[in-house]
């Protein structure tokens, strides 16, 4: 293709659409399903319940320290499948591209998607490309929708949470949110802020052996750790009590948040998981998690309590106890 920018006709379904698929997506994503070029991919799934999840990515900037929208789009959906206990298997990818978008950037994004998918062991099996007029979208938006299979015996759900269960986070929080914010606002720190964007399939594999000893997983993306803890409290009917000093936060995130007046507990993460585990196996879960590269800094941060129900309380470093609410308003728009 000797054009350098995306044209409206690349979204027409006609010859230029076919060229774009043939020259950008098929070489990057090639697999036996995609290559058939049917209206749908036809999959043979292993036995088990099927997990099905969707996410659109509208992040700005498209390229950021630690990743780009393509890597994020694959990791985000892989991680939602992992959060359900599923082994991620297949992804669809649907792109909405603004007319004039650089073809080179599209190729970079397609290759990032392929690389992240390869790492996570998932296949990009079906896709769609639409092009809208200049000014009708902001660069590129990507939807990924994923299918995974949940092994027998796993049934992660907040409904399984019980007072006394332990709450674990798989590493320092706030990195993705800060990296995006810093890039967007042109802030620089002595240690650069880097997104934690990563596929967490190995965390899923590490936890599968604990069966119902692991109650539920949740990835703290938009709204951050605080919002996800509140969702878990709301959905379980239990309370959650966490200790501020046990929540890992990297020095760069802590420093930047102090300076900017942000709370790292509300900043998005794209490579972390919140794990609720039964008290009796929580230590073993923690030990096992720390063997996974993406969870090497996993930490026990609190526990499930009966009272107050449906709320999250945090014991601050000064020993005070306060309510940790859900994100109100918009902290950092277009973070994912």
According to CB under 8 A, which residues from 202 to 221 bind its own copies? Answer: 218-219, 221
Question: Which CB atom, from 76 or from 252, has the smaller least distance to its own copies?
Answer: 76
Please tell me whether residue 70 binds its own copies under the rule CB under 8 A: no
Site string for its own copies, 234-253 (x = CB under 8 A): -x------------------
Please tell me whether residue 92 binds its own copies under the rule CB under 8 A: yes
Please tell me whether residue 136 binds its own copies under the rule CB under 8 A: yes
Question: Which CB atom, from 216 or from 252, has the smaller least distance to its own copies?
Answer: 216
Residue 31's alpha-carbon distances to 25, 123, 126, in angstroms, are 11, 7, 10
Stretch in the footprint of its own copies (CB under 8 A) among 39-47, 178-186, 285-293, 309-317 = 39-47
Please tell me whether residue 81 binds its own copies under the rule CB under 8 A: yes
In the block, residue with structure tokens 């609190």 = 302
CA–CA separation, 208 vs 196, rounded Å? Answer: 23
Please tell me whether residue 170 binds its own copies under the rule CB under 8 A: no
Stretch in the footprint of its own copies (CB under 8 A) among 3-11, 114-122, 195-203, 244-252 = 3-11
The C-alpha angle 56, 57, 59, rounded to 5 degrees, equals 155
Among the listed residues 110, 127, 119, 144, the one whose alpha carbon sits nearest the alpha carbon of residue 39: 127
According to CB under 8 A, which residues from 138 to 157 bind its own copies? Answer: 138, 141, 143, 145-148, 150, 157
Q: How far apart are the first and last CA of the chain?
A: 30
Helix (H) or strand (E) holding 92: strand 87-98
Question: Which CB atom, from 95 or from 277, has the smaller least distance to its own copies?
Answer: 95
Nearest approach, Cβ of 53 to its own copies (angstroms)? 3
Cα torsion 98, 180, 247, 87 to 10°: value is 30
In the block, residue with structure tokens 């499948």 = 81
Q: 3-state DSSP call for residue 54?
A: strand
Nearest approach, Cβ of 234 to its own copies (angstroms)? 8
Question: Which CB atom, from 13 or from 309, has the smaller least distance to its own copies?
Answer: 13
CA–CA separation, 68 vs 45, rounded Å? Answer: 30
């Amino acid at each position: 293709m000797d054009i350098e920018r995306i044209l409206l006709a690349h979204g027409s379904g006609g010859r230029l659409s076919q060229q774009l698929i043939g020259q950008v997506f098929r070489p990057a994503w090639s697999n036996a399903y995609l290559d058939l070029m049917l209206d749908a991919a036809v999959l043979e799934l292993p036995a088990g319940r099927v997990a099905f999840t969707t996410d659109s990515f509208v992040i700005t900037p498209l390229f950021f320290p630690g990743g780009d929208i393509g890597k994020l789009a694959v990791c985000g959906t892989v991680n939602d499948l992992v959060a359900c206990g599923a082994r991620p298997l297949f992804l669809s990818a649907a792109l909405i591209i603004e007319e004039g978008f650089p073809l080179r950037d599209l190729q970079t994004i397609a290759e990032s998607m392929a690389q992240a998918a390869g790492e996570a062991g998932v296949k990009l099996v079906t896709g769609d490309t639409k092009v809208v007029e200049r000014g009708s979208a902001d660069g590129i938006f990507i939807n990924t929708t994923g299918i995974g299979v949940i092994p027998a015996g796993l049934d992660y759900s907040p409904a399984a949470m019980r007072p006394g269960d332990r709450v674990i986070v798989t590493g320092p929080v706030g990195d993705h949110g800060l990296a995006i914010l810093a890039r967007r606002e042109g802030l620089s720190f002595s240690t650069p802020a880097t997104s934690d964007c990563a596929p967490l399939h190995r965390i899923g594999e590490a936890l599968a052996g604990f069966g119902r000893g692991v109650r539920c997983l949740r990835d703290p993306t938009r709204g951050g750790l605080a919002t996800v803890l509140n969702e878990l409290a709301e959905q379980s009917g239990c309370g959650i009590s966490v200790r501020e000093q046990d929540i890992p936060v990297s020095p760069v995130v802590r420093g930047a948040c102090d300076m900017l007046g942000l709370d790292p507990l509300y900043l998005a993460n794209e490579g972390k998981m919140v794990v609720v585990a039964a008290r009796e196996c929580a230590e073993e879960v923690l030990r096992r998690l720390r063997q996974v590269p993406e969870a090497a800094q996993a930490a026990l941060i609190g526990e499930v309590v009966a009272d107050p129900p449906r709320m999250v309380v945090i014991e601050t470093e000064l020993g005070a106890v306060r309510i940790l609410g859900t994100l109100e308003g918009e902290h950092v728009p277009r973070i994912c």
